[in-house]
Amino acid sequence: MTRPRILALADLKPRDMADRLAADYTLVHDIAEAGDVTAVVTAGNIGLSAQQMEAMPALQMIAVNGVGLDAVDMDQAAQRGIRVTTTPDVLSPAVAEMALGLALACTRQIAQGDRFIRAGEWQQGGKLPLGRSLTEMRAGILGYGRIGRALAEMLRGLGMQVLYTARSEKPGAPDTFRPDALTLARDCDALFVTTSGGDSTRALVDAPVLAALGAGGIVVNVARGPVVQTQALADALRDGTIAGAGLDVFDDEPQVPQALLDAPNCVLTPHIASATEQARRAMAQLVLDNLAAHFAGRPLPTQVG
Ligand code: 8YV
């Protein structure tokens, strides 16, 4: 049997998982050489556009090494009967943990304290202002999917009161429902953004939502940059409309707007919420399992839809 040719737009991690992919398939890395590939491996933040799909007439399957589908043209894939898989659940604990870490870094000034020491300010008798206890804040989860619910469980475990917004109230959910971002922000102090990206969630967190969150509030975004309106956030951080932010995602990665770089009350990380050894290995395993199932004619373990 000839080895399937696959376009790899994303690297599997750790290294041995990338080696396994290369052992089973002939990999191409350049779209210009991908005219005859039957599958694509891509990342959540890389996706696959309609134009790229058009250049691959034999494409049968897109394996996303992640959960975000906002960068995949799903209409085009559906029209052509191209199967799409993601890596759900296995990354949720890592992403939830990162959201918690960003919130703590923000409220307890961990990144600020680090900069303070390195700049020699402590040694010169300087003092940081008081922080705030995260566990005494009310958490609001915007997007109560797999990641949002994993985070809610973690925060409940810390004794926090948790509210959430989703498209509809989830019967039996242990957390308190709010119908929209505005009422959620009004009633919480730490707003965690865990929704999917794309047009339906663009700018869900805007100036009125930030104003409703208020001067003691923080925003943590581990979803997609465009869910939070960047200019409104930068203004709110500068003017003290909110207390701080923790951001792992941005509009135009790897670019980060100067206004956010200039905000001392904003903790920035380079889209690494799922980047743990454990999560990335389990994600890569799912990518390999989905590809193997596809080429063996078996049902796909984590097909979307
Ligand atoms: C990853 C993500 O950065 O799951 C997603 O949609 O954005 C992230 O987990 C990426 O997909 C890694 O390949």
Tell whether 72 and 166 lie within a shared domain. no
C-alpha 44 to ligand 1 mean position (Å): 4
Please determine, for residue 2, whether its predicted confidence score (pLDDT) is greater than 90: no
- pLDDT score, position 1: 64
| Vertex 227: Cα angle to 158 and 171 (nearest 5) | 50
Q: Residue 255's domain spans which residues?
A: 92-268
Tell whether 153 and 243 lie within a shared domain. yes
Ligand 1 pocket at CB < 6 A: 10, 43-45, 65-68, 91, 271, 274
| Residue written as token pair 């940081």 | 128
Assigned domain for 170 exists: yes
> pLDDT-based confidence at 48, cuts 50/70/90?
very high
For the CA atoms of 162, 165, 168, 172, what is the dihedral angle to 10 degrees? -10
- pLDDT score, position 128: 96
- pLDDT score, position 305: 76
Q: Take atom 4 of ligand 1 and give the residue whose Cα is closest.
A: 66
Tell whether 30 and 120 lie within a shared domain. no
CATH code for the domain of 37? 3.40.50.720
Assigned domain for 301 exists: no
Region for residue 295 given its phi and psi (left: phi exceeds 0; alpha: psi -120 to 50; beta: otherwise): alpha
Q: For 61, phi and psi rounded to 5 degrees? A: -150, 140
Tell whether 83 and 111 lie within a shared domain. no
| Residue written as token pair 């409940």 | 156
Tell whether 287 and 221 lie within a shared domain. no
- pLDDT score, position 10: 96
Number of structural domains, the chain?
Answer: 2
59-117 pLDDT tens trace: 999 999 999 999 999 999 999 999 999 999 999 999 999 999 999 999 999 999 999 99
- pLDDT score, position 262: 97
> pLDDT-based confidence at 169, cuts 50/70/90?
very high
Q: For 177, phi and psi rounded to 5 degrees? A: -80, 140
Tell whether 121 and 260 lie within a shared domain. yes
Catalytic (active-site) positions = 224, 253, 271
C-alpha 46 to ligand 1 mean position (Å): 8
Assigned domain for 74 exists: yes
Tell whether 242 and 142 lie within a shared domain. yes
Tell whether 257 and 154 lie within a shared domain. yes
